[in-house]
Structure 1
Amino acid sequence: MDTMRDRFIATTSRLLDEDPRLALVLAEISAAGFERTQRRHPARVINVGIREQLLIGAGGGIALTGMRPIMHTFASFLVERPFEQVKLDFGHQDTGGVLVSAGASYDWPAGGFTHMSPGDVALLDTLDGWTVHVPGHPDEAEALLRHAAAGDDRVYVRLSLQSNAETRPVTGDRFLTVREGRGGVVIAVGPMLDDVLAATEGLDVTVLYATTVRPFDRTALRAAVGVRADVVIVEPYLEGTSTTATNDALADVPHRVMGLGVARRELRRYGTIDEHLAAQGLDPASLRARISAFLWRRRGR
């Protein structure tokens, strides 16, 4: 199976052939994958080099002309390093564009902490008007990328090497009910779904699958809870990122919320992706223990 980043390159190349409104701005990362596309569209495939602030600034300028820019690099260089440009060149100017990241929270541990970005979604959450997609499979990445490219708003598509084994239908806005139960609700975000399903096997819980986390699907969550709600959110980035959104959605319902994700402490032994998942308590065995302890605590078990 190809990776989400492979699918991004193939899909964006086709989109550039199909839609003259689109432009792609790169900062060296993935540039080799777009060499043929750049030869076909030299004015609409721009590599600014290792200049991430310029990457966003150029995209913002393209957006002001009425075109639709797609900007791409590692998440830490796409959201964190040029955050001022994201805030001003898109938010303040009220223009639209698509940010497409690679690297996720720790997809390339050998690259060190400079190439890790567990706080990207939380950081974008400080800005108004951003849609955030977190696909869990390359097919979902393609669908959400096409959805983003066709729009006019501000969109972040967060790609990862982590992937679920099976693709799910995604619409670009709603949570999907994967499993139904009565003992609580677990929201699995993007590539965390398979581990959540393994962790909750045999537990009486509803599992919701989220590939779009902003805007947050209040309707699906409220439909899944009863008169009292216990909710666990398992996200592949900074723990607690969606806790406030969940609390807001259930403001008039007695509820408890636990956010599971990447901890704030820095892990300095970089290891592998699987080792990071285990160290963060996001592998199936750890998730089962943490989810069970939270959900059953109220029941005195």
Structure 2
Amino acid sequence: MRDAFLESTGRMLQKNPDSVVVLADIGVSQFREAGLFKYGGLSDEYSDRFINCGIREQLMIGVAAGLAKEGFRPLVHSYAPFLIERPYEQIKIDFAHLGLGGVFVSVGASFDASNSGRTHQAPGDVGLLKLIPDFEIHVPGHADEAAVLLDEAAAGDGRVYVRLSEDMNSTARPVEPGKFHVERQGSSGAPAVIAVGPMLDRVLEATEALDVTVLYATTVMPFDSWTLRDTGASEVVPVEPYLLGTSAAEVSGALHDRPHRLMSLGVRNMELRNYGTLEDHIEVHGLDAESLRDSISGFLAK
């Protein structure tokens, strides 16, 4: 996904002369290796459209907001905790309160950087941004999907968050920003399982013997209430690669006029003090295929 991001950024810089990239040290080496940015940069055509603020994440957001106020389209990038959690107040005030647009692209997801410890993990990032109005939030599950969503974000003028991850599905699915993709159709009124981004492959494996409709979400805000309602489901299981329950209010809101049952699956709100691998974390949080099968089957059997 990071390669797709670098390529999309190159297209953005080429197509939009008012686009600019703002960094806080993270990502500088990747952009330099991609030939987009050089230290000194005198021979690179995009050098003057990269601003590296150093390890000052609040400043990074403030600089990006200032550029947006002057008519530029800023793209801001870092690890999820450094992009969303640390400068959260600046996003809330400098961007949202002033009604400014920008593209926020993170790497690291909930625990991609498992060997870097808790400082580099952000399972609560999507839940935090949901508290700020008018944010589009995209969670691609494949590099090709990330490219589509990044290009769309770069071409727009709103506030967009694109959450990249190392965890990916085996193949890309059709992506229409703001819409769920019906990956598997169950019988009329069958329970609906909403697989968000990189959760899809494991959800499909976990539910292969169950009569359920599987919806695939690469955009979680705004939430696609209509596609969920069209399934006719009265039992819904969102499976999210971030904090468990993040989309629960949106599911209940979509079905507010129907009796329904809801079970949220995602990253559990607990403090892990072991490093481990990405796969270890997936298993501990019950997001591997076997654990998902047990959880979903048990819920539907009640």
Q: TM-score range by the shorter chain?
A: over 0.9
Alignment partner, residue 5 of structure 2 = 8
- Partner SS, residue 16 of structure 1: helix
Match of 1:18 in 2: 15
Q: Counterparts of 1:190 and 1:141 in 2: how far apart (Å)?
A: 10
**Deviation of the 1:9 alpha carbon:** 1.2
Partner of 2:40: none
Match runs of 1:169-208 below 5 Å: 169-182=174-187, 183-208=190-215
- Report SS of the residue matched to 1:216: coil
TM-score between both structures, scaled by the size of structure 1: 0.95
Shift of 1:21: 1.9
Is residue 192–residue 235 contact of structure 1 (8 Å, CA) maintained in 2?
yes
Select which of 245, 249, 258 maps to 1:244: 249
Give the partner amino acid of 1:106: F
Q: Deviations over 1:130-167 (max 9, x none)?
A: 00000000000010000001111100000000000000
Task: Name the CA distance, whole Å, in 2 between partners of 1:43 and 1:224.
Answer: 50
Q: For each residue in 1:215-240, what CA deviation from the matched residue of structure 2 results, as whole angstroms up to 9, or x when unmatched?
A: 000000000124xx000000000000
Q: Which residue of 2 aligns with 1:98?
A: 103
Secondary structure of residue in 1 paired with 2:26: coil
CA contact (8 A) 2:12 2:155 kept: no
CA distance, structure 2, for counterparts of residue 296 and residue 184 of structure 1? 11
- Residues 239-278 of structure 1: pairs in structure 2 closer than 5 A: 239-278=244-283
Q: After superposing the two structures, state which structure 1 stretch, 9-18 or 215-224, moved more.
A: 9-18
Aligned-residue offset at 1:117:
0.1
Cα-to-partner distance string for 1:220-264 (whole Å, 9 max, x where unaligned): 0000124xx000000000000000010000000110111100011
Distance 1:163 1:142 in 2: 14
Residue 46 of structure 2: aligned partner: 41
How far has the Cα of 1:14 moved from its partner?
2.4
Partner in structure 1 of residue 219 of structure 2: 212
Query: Any stretches of 5+ residues in structure 2 without a counterpart?
Result: 38-43
- Secondary structure at the aligned position of 1:43 is classed as helix
**Contact in 2 for aligned 1:75/1:103 (Cα 8 Å):** yes
Q: Is the 8 A contact 1:189 1:209 kept in 2?
A: yes
Following superposition, the deviation at residue 269 of structure 1 comes to 1.0
RMSD, matched Cα: 0.8
Shift of 1:43: 2.0
Q: d(CA) in 2 for partners of 1:144 and 1:206?
A: 24
Match of 1:109 among 102, 107, 114: 114
Give the % identical residues. Answer: 53
Question: Structure 1 residue 28 and structure 2 residue 28: aligned?
Answer: no
Q: Name the CA distance, whole Å, in 2 between partners of 1:165 and 1:281.
A: 20
What residue in structure 1 maps to residue 142 of structure 2? 137
* Residue equivalent to 1:168: 173
Shift of 1:278: 0.5
**Which whole-Å CA distance do the structure 2 matches of 1:225 and 1:56 have between them?**
42
1:40 & 1:172 partners in 2: Cα distance? 31
Unaligned runs of 5+ in 1: none
Query: Residues of 2 paired with 1:19 and 1:295: CA distance?
Result: 50
Given that 1:13 and 1:34 are in contact with CA atoms closer than 8 Å, whether structure 2 keeps it comes out as no
Amino acid at match of 2:28: A
Structure 1 residue identity aligned to 2:6: I
1:158 aligns with 2:157: no
3-state DSSP of counterpart to 1:40 = coil
Q: What amino acid sits opposite 2:158 in the alignment?
A: D
- Give aligned pairs, total: 292
SS of residue in 1 equivalent to 2:264? strand
Please give the per-residue CA displacement for 1:110-141, whole angstroms capped at 9, x wherever unaligned.
Answer: 11100000000000111111000000000000
SS at match of 1:172: coil
SS in 2 for 1:201: coil
Q: Given that residues 133 and 157 in structure 1 are in contact (C-alpha distance below 8 angstroms), is that contact kept between their aligned partners in structure 2?
A: yes
Identify the residue that residue 87 of structure 2 maps to in structure 1: 82
Distance 1:171 1:161 in 2: 22
